[in-house]
Structure 1
């Protein structure tokens, strides 16, 4: 039996974009569009993990997330069954490399738009059944069938999908990873909604809706989201490169000439990191994702990172309006520059600088394009054991 805890304390400073008098303001150009500068208790986890022969158990609560039981994160019982593990309870659906990485080990302070920060908005932990394993130490597989709800909510909606990943070679300082996932989310009347909301400028930044399944008025009640996602990563010595691409179809997001229409959201990111002090990222095969190493120097480990992230609704136009902006475009882009100092195992300081560009296009011929260029500096103190 192992007891653990983590605390992530963030502080943010915003540089809002100034409104252009040529067109109405939006995003950070609006007063009170986001919380003020200052501190934010991002996470406050306590957890217990136990194993007895072929049975395992995990209970995890986030005291920074609000009231119980909505603050519960992973709560499951697992058993070895055949070559893999059967899991029953609340856990993360098996979709995406960065989504499945631990919050203690993600390279940037926030996950990219190919995760529950964007494509799977608010659906990071669901209740259901899953099965995962790895064949010949190279081919990982996982499937899940879940309710589109978490603890404290009625059992409503459904989600199912799976993930495959292949590791041609995996050794310290030389690892290659390819992966693919597929998921279908069907929203119910009391479930979590099937929508895509991208947040640019960090956790306390600006929320931009990219579409909501079932928002189009019509005879059909379709509220389904179908997502394909591809992933690739390569770690060579102290350098790690990774990226993911997601293509998600939201059903019945809007009407055109009285007819129901679906819309497609694409999201992708590319990321590079470098341990200046020579450490090498650790590949965790049980997750099919990268983790972080222990510092090799008494002065700790220093990591530099950069990420480009984009999300957009491909169907947004002056005639089709799934984003509900009434404009010709619906896109967010974020460049994040990051520095991580791993003082010792369990203590990390993170500094992120976000350069954002949210574009909603124009409202007709001869009208100017509208953009929001918010920038943010965020700093995190992370403790864990």
Structure 2
């Protein structure tokens, strides 16, 4: 009960503080603005007998607070996730997200610190704006997420080009050792008031130092197919934990289309793993189609090369329905030998979103997922889930 009270207190503080702190505290060379987001999720599962059962549960998925502004020509942002306080009220359960400084130049923007890397359209779209509660299985398990590094992005009305060098460590995940380089380019050949066509390519090369040895975390790709609370339905696609340096090449081809109330998003992604004695590969694809019943269109942020916040056209809010099919497959083998692992996961989802305000949303997703061992020709797990979210940001 104490953890629930702590979480409730954080939520209440977030909601009551928002109107008071949303404005800049100074208008000059030094400015500061508070922001945050609250995502409260629930999940109800229908598990079959072939895998461990997922218990029905609720969680404060995200409770982020941030401070951003300008400091003598430099931009800055400090952001933390306080959702871990619902488990134990301790400073160790506060997770750092964006912690960086930026500088604008005529040719582009420099970012230094911890930030989300430029990789995949699905991961670059904010969790406040995504059509489904969960990102694709590829984005949620393979994308680099928040890492320490330096990045540059050049943005023009019809394209962006960005790249970064980064550590595989983050402020909180310091046991992951290694270094990496990544890049992302986007192009909008069609963009007007009625439609936006987005094309993109993401690439990354990562070098993991002795995963699984000398205190370094092992490297394992194991998505949650039926939502964030479906830990018991995870399956391992590839695993490298023998202490050998491992190289990983990642890529994603991006497609997005917004035309009137229609929204389409799809990506093909992959990752190749090599530790000198064994190899692994992950291949993935997803496609989603959404439709605004109330006539809105999905906005586009040309500065970041991603789709953005929905603004309802009427006081009663905006309603959107969506379908998604998502599949991912992993194979692994010793050099010169046949595969000893070949596992696939697939998911079909139906979603309904009610954007009551531009910063207030209710989400409901129905998920049907299945894991298969392709070598044995058997189904490992089949899980259905009804998930929902209350979401507020400021």
TM-score interval, normalised by the smaller of the two chains: 0.7 to 0.9
1:178 paired residue number: 199
SS at match of 1:296: coil
Partner of 1:92: 116
| 1:64-79 correspondence to structure 2 within 5 Å | 64-65=83-84, 67-68=91-92, 71-79=95-103
Residue 81 of structure 1, aligned match among 102, 105, 112: 105
Please state how far the C-alpha of 1:232 moved relative to its aligned partner.
0.8
Of 180, 186, 191, the residue aligned with 1:165 is: 186
Match of 1:243 in 2: 266
1:149 aligns with 169
Q: Displacement of 1:188 after TM fit?
A: 2.5
Establish whether residue 349 from structure 1 lines up as the match of residue 362 from structure 2.
yes
Distance 1:307 1:289 in 2: 18
Q: TM-score, normalised by structure 2?
A: 0.83
Secondary structure of 2:123's counterpart equals helix
Matches within 5 A, 1:249-288: 249-252=272-275, 260-288=277-305
Alignment RMSD, CA only?
2.2
Q: Does 1:333 align with 2:352?
A: no
Matches within 5 A, 1:1-385: 1-19=32-50, 29-30=51-52, 33-34=53-54, 36-52=55-71, 54-65=73-84, 67-68=91-92, 71-115=95-139, 117-120=140-143, 123-135=144-156, 137-152=157-172, 153=174, 156-189=177-210, 193-205=218-230, 206-213=233-240, 215=242, 221-252=244-275, 260-315=277-332, 319-322=338-341, 329-361=342-374, 363=376, 369-385=378-394
CA spacing shift, 1:65–1:285, aligned 2, 3 Å: farther
1:347 is displaced (CA, Å) by: 1.1
In structure 2, the residue corresponding to 1:114 is in which secondary structure? helix
Q: TM-score, structure 1 length as denominator?
A: 0.85
SS in 2 for 1:91: strand
Matched position secondary structure for 2:201: strand
Match of 2:21 in 1: none
| Structure 1 residues without counterparts, runs of 5 or longer | 20-28, 253-258, 323-328
CA pair 96-245 structure 1, distance change in 2 beyond 3 A: same
1:118 aligned counterpart, secondary structure:
helix
SS, match of residue 132 in structure 1: strand
Summarize the Cα distance change of 1:193–1:286 in structure 2 as closer, same or farther, 3 Å threshold.
Answer: farther
Give the gaps of 5 or more residues in structure 2: 1-31, 86-90
Could you tell me whether the CA contact under 8 Å between 1:148 and 1:192 is conserved in 2? no
